[in-house]
Amino acid sequence: MTPPVAVTPYPISIFENTKAKTQSSEPASKWTNFTFNPIRESTVSRAMTSRYFEDLNKYAESDVVIIGAGSCGLSAAYILAKQRPDLKIAIIEAGVAPGGGAWLGGQLFSAMVMRKPAEKFLDEIEVPYEDEGDYVVVKHAALFTSTLMSKVLRFPNVKLFNATTVEDLITRKDPATGEIRIAGVVTNWTLVSMHHDDQSCMDPNTINCPIIISTTGHDGPFGAFSVKRLVSMGNIERLGGMRGLDMKAAEDAIVKRTREVVPGLVVGGMELSEIDGANRMGPTFGAMALSGVKAAESVLEVFDLRKKQNDEE
Q: Residues 265-281: pLDDT tens digits?
A: 999 999 999 999 999 88
* DSSP letter string, the chain: -PPPPPPPPPPPPSSPPP--B-TTSSBPPTTTT--PPP--HHHHHHHHHHHHHHHHHHHTB-SEEEE--SHHHHHHHHHHHHH-TTS-EEEEESSSS--TTTTS-GGG-S-EEEETTTHHHHHHHT---EE-SSEEEES-HHHHHHHHHHHHHHSTTEEEEESEEEEEEEEEE-TTT--EEEEEEEEEEHHHHTTTTT------EEEE-SEEEE---SSSSSTTHHHHHHHHHTSSS-----EEE-HHHHHHHHHHH-EEEETTEEE-THHHHHHHTPEE--SB-HHHHHHHHHHHHHHHHHHHHHHHHHHT-
Is 203 a known ligand-binding residue?
yes
298 near 262, Cβ under 8 Å?
Answer: no
Q: How large is the angle between the packed helices 247-257 and 286-311, nearest 10 degrees?
A: 20
Could you tell me the pLDDT band of residue 18, with boundaries at 50, 70 and 90? very low
Is 93 a known ligand-binding residue?
yes
Could you tell me the pLDDT band of residue 185, with boundaries at 50, 70 and 90? very high
- Which pLDDT belongs to residue 22? 47
- Which pLDDT belongs to residue 32? 84
Is 281 a known ligand-binding residue?
yes
Class of residue 154 by CB neighbours under 10 A (exposed 0-12, middle 13-18, buried 19+): exposed
Is 195 a known ligand-binding residue?
no
Is 112 a known ligand-binding residue?
no
Between 29 and 254, name the one with better pLDDT.
254
Is 48 a known ligand-binding residue?
no
Is 5 a known ligand-binding residue?
no
User: Does position 21 have pLDDT exceeding 90, yes or no?
Assistant: no
Is 282 a known ligand-binding residue?
yes
In the chain the domains, ranked by start, together with CATH numbers, are: 66-312 (3.50.50.60)
pLDDT, average across residues 121-131:
98
- Which pLDDT belongs to residue 25? 58
- Which pLDDT belongs to residue 23? 55
Class of residue 291 by CB neighbours under 10 A (exposed 0-12, middle 13-18, buried 19+): buried
Is 101 a known ligand-binding residue?
yes
The least confident of 54-68, 73-87, 152-166, 239-253 is 239-253
Is 201 a known ligand-binding residue?
no
pTM recorded for the entire structure: 0.90
Is 218 a known ligand-binding residue?
yes
